[in-house]
Structure 1
Amino acid sequence: MTKLKYSKQLCVVLLSTISVVSCSTAKKEPTVPLENVPQVKEQGSVPERVWLDQGWSDKLRNDFWFTGQGSQIIPYTWFTWLEQPDSEQLFRDSEHMEMLRYLPSRSSASNPSGLPIGFALHNNQTTGQAWVGMTCAACHTNQLDYQGTKILIDGAPTLANFVLFFSKLNASLNTTLNDNQKFNRFASRVLGSNASDAAIEDLRDDLKHVSMATAERQAVNDLPADYPDDFTSYARLDAFGNIQNAGTAFALDDLNNRNAPTAPVSYPFLWGTHQSNVVQWNASAPNIPVVGPLIRNMGEVVGVFGSLSITEAPVWQRVWGKHARYSSTIDFNGIGQLEAWVKTLRPPAWPEQYLPGVDTSKAAKGKMLYQANCASCHEIVAPKDVLKDYVAIKTPVKEVGTDPVMSNNATCHMAKTLFLEGTKSDILVGEKFAAVTHAIDIPVNGVAGLVLKNPVEAIEAGLIAEETSNSGGKTSALKSIEERLKSYFAGRDKLTPNAGDDCEDGFYDAGVYKARPLNGIWATAPYLHNGSVPNLWSLLQAPEQRPDRFWVGSREFDPVNVGYVTNQGLNEFKVNKADGSVQPGNDNAGHTYGTELSEEEKWQLVEYMKTL
């Protein structure tokens, strides 16, 4: 190992968005040798699971699990041999990762260290060094258990506790750095028993910078002091808040230019994502062909350790109108492939071979109730049409009455623009940045900058899911991507017109939440956008009759109420604070549709939703 291999600059890239000027985006033919990662056995046991038919082959499923998208957490061999902070057990040990509710998986050519599903190998485009990073499957694959059978569902929202995972990772790096015995074991495994003293010291120095970078990320995304430590917990995450900070604090290299991520939401299910005309819980992004999914996925990578750097252009470039330089580790081809695969993913059908059968008499009556009470927002989609496009219903937050914090934060969080002040917010179009702007506009600007910097790679990635190809060369690709970006920004402006004028004291009066078809909804508990309702039966109760505390993190499925069991788990979700007032972000009020039905009718409606 040389000092260059784990340079300070490369380590700073590591955790989601620390500035790295030297990193470039993906190329089809790397110009540097790729690090060869030897295959080792998984640590601990991997459970036997059954799969449902969702239109994917075994190979496609495996490709989805372990295709990298440019995310970089720490070097791959580090993650392979890193110990847990309070023991000699490896961090990747199956029991440990299962406690965090990530899904243990066996070692293979595509998963050489036997890491959990969704922890993929990414070779840095500049150095060739192997890193571990999250891919879509880490957050959108789940396992539910029923009477000893473990059912794996692709595209389902994870039960994982991302915040706890990152806290423990940070602690492991810090402890390894400061505990000589732990460090010596780590160095021997990473470098080999015959490593030179110089190589060992280089590793220690690199570890120090990585540990510092993880601590910075944790500090930037800390909650306010009056929030409980387990506020985010299992099965939800404020991904939008993390993406905002990725742009404002890390890409612009000002760690104080941040907003607290106080709006954790349930991970959305993936099937049908490409079909909707808008995406995000607050319907804030147009999903227009090619560029819509491209920007959506690039933003997602930025939020899960895909670096983004926005630096001021040198004076000579500013003379010609170029005010910023953009760089990242995002893998365009990877996100293009992942989007193409998700586009073919079908919702899971209720598996009567593993779960109790559906009462068809109740379900038939429930269908009539659904059509009368639910279908105006959550349209019924026949199995033959599940891959067709639809126009999502957008319900005003004031009308639906559910927790408003996600909508408010997404629109009303503000941040300094620093050297971007005076430049066009959308680079090609749009008003010029003032000194302070909506926080989400910074990472959107950054993603657009990356697209324009890499037009050929961007257009090719966007076209993968469209089952077509671009043959016009770089010039036509640039023209095409510029026109598509302009259309995207025009659509985005229409979705949140004059958003700044409607924010008062952090509240966005014009906010909406998106409704979508409920195919496969039985496999996506907990419910409401913030995961504040444990099962479908509870969702049909008047808000004051819904449970205000319940256990989360259990994989054991409840086929009667349709959700996970609530009397056991890994953490207790609480709607209210200790003083009895509602904890902002945890409110379980609203969405009163169907709550006035009789008890018998509610059971009929639940039975029907099993068939969707």
Structure 2
Amino acid sequence: MDRAMYYTQDQGSRLMPLSWLKALTLPDGSPFLSQSLSRYGYLPMTGPNQGLPVGFTSTGPAGREQVGVTCAACHTREIRVSGTKYRVDGGPALVDFHRLLVDLDEATQKLANDPAAFDSFAKIVLGPDYEDPSSRDLLKLEFDLWSKRFHAIVSRGVPSEPWGVGRLDAVGMIFNRLTGLDLGETSDRIIEANIQSADAPVRYPFLWNAAVQDRTQWPGFAANGSDILGLARNVGEVYGVFGEFTPVKDSWSLLGIDYLKGNSVNFSGLSTLEGLIKKLGPPAYPFPIDKALAQKGEAVFKAPGPWGSCEDCHGQRPGTPSLGNKTWATPLVDTGTDSHQYDVLSWVAHPGVMTGARIPFLSERLAETSPAIDILTVAVEGSILQHYAPWIFDLRLKQTDAVEVALDKDLSALLPELYLPKDLRELRNAFPRSQGLGLADAQRSAVPPAESTSKVPESANSPTTQFKYESRVLYGIWATAPYLHNGSVPTLSDLLKAVDQRPEKFESGADYDPVMVGLAATQSGLHSITVTTDCTERNSGNSRCGHEFGTDLSAEDKTALLEYLKTL
């Protein structure tokens, strides 16, 4: 029951109408939905799901259902060993989202530009209503708007170099979706100049124990550990996977924006999904384990070395509490790994209809050009506040000059804090505010010193300390290859090698190697080739540089350590 709900629970994503998706075809004429999108690595559902795979939802009244994406699409994994498949719920998906977006854009652009093809499409979508000219005209109007918006984000935001199987520039696509498609002041809401190439792909994270980390996102910029902070990260994720968000200016409301106008976020569904994620445990290693060897490996994991111990960064220990909830520490460390995701975090954009919107709990307004992370912060926190504390937005203040002066004295920041319950006040910690600082400084300022310096060594091969990424507890790590935040190392065995000995390229797919603990060298099904760079190109997005801890261990100790990691 829990698994089925995890696979199908709506969170508010609205990709496209189900009737459209069912009517789309591939270049060879076969249905776009053939084999439940398995050609992209998505996994089949057991039971009825409108032909959709795991993690794709269908919601709405009969005949007008909308297809959306939910957590399970990106966080359900399948591995293969000797022809046997193993399902890993909450594991990083081995899917090609890049190819899905490009193919969907090509299929819909053909219809947008070929009247005959669109007419055939309309006959399938409308059925008997095709004979009604007004129905055909309405469908054409709706489709042209949808395809224009989708083409804008794919053509400008999806890079020509594929992300590959198991990787996605999620932060870049969230920024693009929000600032590029939602905030324009024209009828199509598009601000093309805000859409940038999302060319810093990272591997999908695993979800088990995600709720108890005290920080999330690979750079650790999101505070975590309570339901309200979990909701903040999830609302942002919904906006990134084509949730509907059409904020409008409202000069009578306290913060000047109506955030729920046309907002599709399913707050109840997100709460259900977060509850299910809390139930997820790490997957048990399904193959034999040498217990004596694993015991020796545990000693290696905990033994201090010149670089500290594995346990210093990856052991379970108390983190920063949130609303009284116990959390696990998630150290943020610069270990010399790829730095390109920090370029994405430096993006700026025009806030469009949200220009001048006030950042909740602070007095600053969004300027004509603002950091994308600030725009996301305002959009997410404003939406949550308006949903759970509508009385704040119902303080119908007409912003006369006198009121504006009062607002500039932080009245708008003060009122929410005075009237909000404690859990909503925790939103002030959800995301960092740039506040005009350079990104590296802003990132450091958002992390308490104890989190970033307590027994966590910086890498000797890193000339910097500002490109920090999260160091998670390693439960279930055996099932999450490829490794490093950008998925540039195929196995745990390779990660224990010096950078110049790690593979320069490898195949990413579902075939699994229990000895090397990670991706098999040869993939038999859907796969892509990842080509990596060394430390001379640390900012390539594909650098295998960094995290050279344990590379000087003996061969025996490395074998023992790998055996222990299988038990976590």
- TM-score category of the 2 structures, normalised to the smaller one: 0.7 to 0.9
Choose the corresponding residue for 2:210, options 256, 273, 276. 273
Taking the aligned partners of 1:311 and 1:128, their CA distance within structure 2 comes to 29
Give the conservation status (yes or no) of the 8 Å contact 1:243–1:300: yes
Which residue matches 1:144?
A: 79
Q: Which amino acid aligns with 1:67?
A: Q
Q: Which amino acid aligns with 1:447?
A: V
Which residue matches 1:567?
A: 522
Which residue matches 1:413?
A: 347
Query: How far did 1:437 drift?
Result: 2.4
Residues 1:232 and 1:166: Cα distance change in structure 2 (over 3 Å): same
Which residue matches 2:411?
A: none
Taking the aligned partners of 1:180 and 1:438, their CA distance within structure 2 comes to 41
Query: How far did 1:201 drift?
Result: 4.3
Taking the aligned partners of 1:238 and 1:565, their CA distance within structure 2 comes to 24
Which residue matches 1:362?
A: 293
Taking the aligned partners of 1:246 and 1:149, their CA distance within structure 2 comes to 38
Which residue matches 1:487?
A: 426
Choose the corresponding residue for 1:521, options 465, 472, 477. 477
Instruction: Indicate whether 1:450 and 2:383 are aligned.
Output: yes
Choose the corresponding residue for 1:608, options 548, 551, 564. 564
Q: Which runs of 5+ in 2 are unaligned?
A: 185-190, 304-308, 318-324, 392-414, 444-462
Instruction: Indicate whether 1:545 and 2:481 are aligned.
Output: no
Which residue matches 1:104?
A: 44
Residues 1:508 and 1:282: Cα distance change in structure 2 (over 3 Å): farther
Give the conservation status (yes or no) of the 8 Å contact 1:282–1:512: yes
Instruction: Indicate the larger mover: 555-564 or 256-265.
Output: 256-265
Extract structure 1 runs of 4+ deviating beyond 6 A: 476-480, 494-497
Which residue matches 2:400?
A: none
Taking the aligned partners of 1:566 and 1:408, their CA distance within structure 2 comes to 31
1:544-570 deviations in Å (ceiling 9; x for gaps): 110011112x21111111112133353
Q: Secondary structure at the match of 1:83?
A: coil
Give the conservation status (yes or no) of the 8 Å contact 2:200–2:340: yes
Q: Tell me the matched-pair count.
A: 504
RMSD: 3.2
Give the conservation status (yes or no) of the 8 Å contact 2:301–2:311: yes
Residues 1:490 and 1:273: Cα distance change in structure 2 (over 3 Å): closer
Q: Secondary structure at the match of 1:296?
A: helix
Q: Secondary structure at the match of 1:163?
A: helix
Which residue matches 1:377?
A: 313
Taking the aligned partners of 1:557 and 1:98, their CA distance within structure 2 comes to 19
Give the conservation status (yes or no) of the 8 Å contact 2:225–2:327: no
Which residue matches 1:5?
A: none
Which residue matches 1:512?
A: 468
Taking the aligned partners of 1:234 and 1:156, their CA distance within structure 2 comes to 14
Which residue matches 2:369?
A: 436
Query: How far did 1:299 drift?
Result: 0.6
Taking the aligned partners of 2:316 and 2:333, their CA distance within structure 1 comes to 21
Query: How far did 1:358 drift?
Result: 1.2
Choose the corresponding residue for 2:67, options 132, 147, 151. 132
Taking the aligned partners of 2:430 and 2:158, their CA distance within structure 1 comes to 33
Residues 1:583 and 1:395: Cα distance change in structure 2 (over 3 Å): closer
Choose the corresponding residue for 1:214, options 136, 146, 150. 150
Query: How far did 1:535 drift?
Result: 0.8
Taking the aligned partners of 1:575 and 1:215, their CA distance within structure 2 comes to 29
Query: How far did 1:500 drift?
Result: 4.5
1:52-93 deviations in Å (ceiling 9; x for gaps): xxxxxxx11001101111101110121123212x12211111
Which residue matches 1:42?
A: none
Give the conservation status (yes or no) of the 8 Å contact 1:574–1:586: yes
Which residue matches 2:165?
A: 234
1:178-197 correspondence runs (5 A)? 178-179=113-114, 182-192=117-127, 195-197=130-132
Taking the aligned partners of 2:175 and 2:465, their CA distance within structure 1 comes to 21
Taking the aligned partners of 2:180 and 2:228, their CA distance within structure 1 comes to 25
Taking the aligned partners of 1:150 and 1:574, their CA distance within structure 2 comes to 27
**Structure-1-length-normalised TM-score:** 0.76
Q: Which runs of 5+ in 1 are unaligned?
A: 1-58, 224-228, 382-387, 459-475
Give the conservation status (yes or no) of the 8 Å contact 1:107–1:114: no
1:180-232 deviations in Å (ceiling 9; x for gaps): 66545533432225731423444344322222221012134143xxxxx3341
Query: How far did 1:418 drift?
Result: 4.7
Query: How far did 1:389 drift?
Result: 4.4
Q: Which amino acid aligns with 2:341?
A: M
Taking the aligned partners of 1:176 and 1:608, their CA distance within structure 2 comes to 54
1:44-55 correspondence runs (5 A)? none
Choose the corresponding residue for 1:87, options 13, 17, 28. 28
Query: How far did 1:174 drift?
Result: 1.9
**Structure-2-length-normalised TM-score:** 0.81
Which residue matches 1:594?
A: 550
Residues 1:528 and 1:101: Cα distance change in structure 2 (over 3 Å): same
Give the conservation status (yes or no) of the 8 Å contact 1:555–1:564: yes
Residues 1:374 and 1:494: Cα distance change in structure 2 (over 3 Å): farther
Give the conservation status (yes or no) of the 8 Å contact 1:535–1:561: yes
Instruction: Indicate whether 1:303 and 2:275 are aligned.
Output: no
Which residue matches 1:395?
A: 332
Q: Secondary structure at the match of 1:302?
A: helix
Q: Secondary structure at the match of 1:121?
A: strand
Instruction: Indicate the larger mover: 252-261 or 284-293.
Output: 252-261
Taking the aligned partners of 2:432 and 2:106, their CA distance within structure 1 comes to 42
Taking the aligned partners of 2:466 and 2:161, their CA distance within structure 1 comes to 30
Residues 1:146 and 1:119: Cα distance change in structure 2 (over 3 Å): same
Give the conservation status (yes or no) of the 8 Å contact 2:7–2:70: yes
Which residue matches 2:219?
A: 282
Residues 1:193 and 1:181: Cα distance change in structure 2 (over 3 Å): farther
1:577-612 deviations in Å (ceiling 9; x for gaps): 9xx956711011100111111122111111111111
Q: Secondary structure at the match of 1:208?
A: helix
Give the conservation status (yes or no) of the 8 Å contact 2:213–2:330: no
1:323-367 deviations in Å (ceiling 9; x for gaps): 222231111111110001111111100013xxxx11222211111
Which residue matches 1:255?
A: 192
Give the conservation status (yes or no) of the 8 Å contact 2:532–2:544: yes
Instruction: Indicate the larger mover: 169-178 or 185-194.
Output: 185-194
Taking the aligned partners of 1:497 and 1:187, their CA distance within structure 2 comes to 50
Choose the corresponding residue for 1:170, options 91, 97, 105. 105
Query: How far did 1:421 drift?
Result: 4.6
Q: Secondary structure at the match of 1:377?
A: helix
